[in-house]
Structures are given as C-alpha cells and as structure tokens.
Amino acid sequence: MPTWSRDAAVRARWTEISTRYAGGVSGDVYVVMGRSVRKDAVWHEQFKALKRNVNVTRVIKVDLTTGREVVIHARGPG
C-alpha cells in the first residue's frame, strides 16, 4: 500500500486496493468513521463497491467519537 498523498497515481492505487478489498468481504462490515468525510475520500468508491458486493449483508458505521453504530446499507431479501 503506498503512503497516502493527493498524487493522482497514488489515489488511483488506493482506490483500486480499497475497492478490491470491498469486493472480497462478506457478512456484516463495520467501518469506523469520524463525523465528516472529504468529498475526494477513497471511502466513497469503497462504499459503492461494498453495496455492489452481493456477499455483504450490512454496512455498519461506527462513530469514532461515541462508538454509536448505525446501519448505512442493508441488503434486502433475495
């Protein structure tokens, strides 16, 4: 994993690795997040990949400060 930077090639590599990881997980997925996410954060592409992954049942956001859990995506039946 390359050290994070705003360099386009580094961002592309982080996006590729993150979305590949999201495509390989299953079941309930927990993400620990702060109160805000940058508009250019890799998270947005990773979240799309998690939602496309038919093996993910739910994506649960855990608030970094409070520990509160919120389901931000749930796969419907079938």
SS3 content of the chain, % helix, strand, coil (to 5): 35, 25, 40
- Closest CA relative to residue 13, chosen from 2, 27, 28: 2
* 77 burial via Cβ count (<10 Å: 0-12, 13-18, 19+): exposed
Pick the residue with more confidence: 68 or 11? 68
Token pair 């970094």 in the structure block, residue:
64
Q: What's the Cα-to-Cα distance from 11 to each of 3, 20, 33, rounded to whole Å?
A: 10, 14, 19
Give the residue extent of every domain in the chain.
Answer: 8-74
Mean pLDDT of 1-29: 87
Full-model pTM: 0.85
Q: What is the pLDDT of residues 25-56, one digit of tens each?
A: 999 999 999 988 888 888 999 999 999 999 99
Three-state secondary-structure class, residue 14:
helix
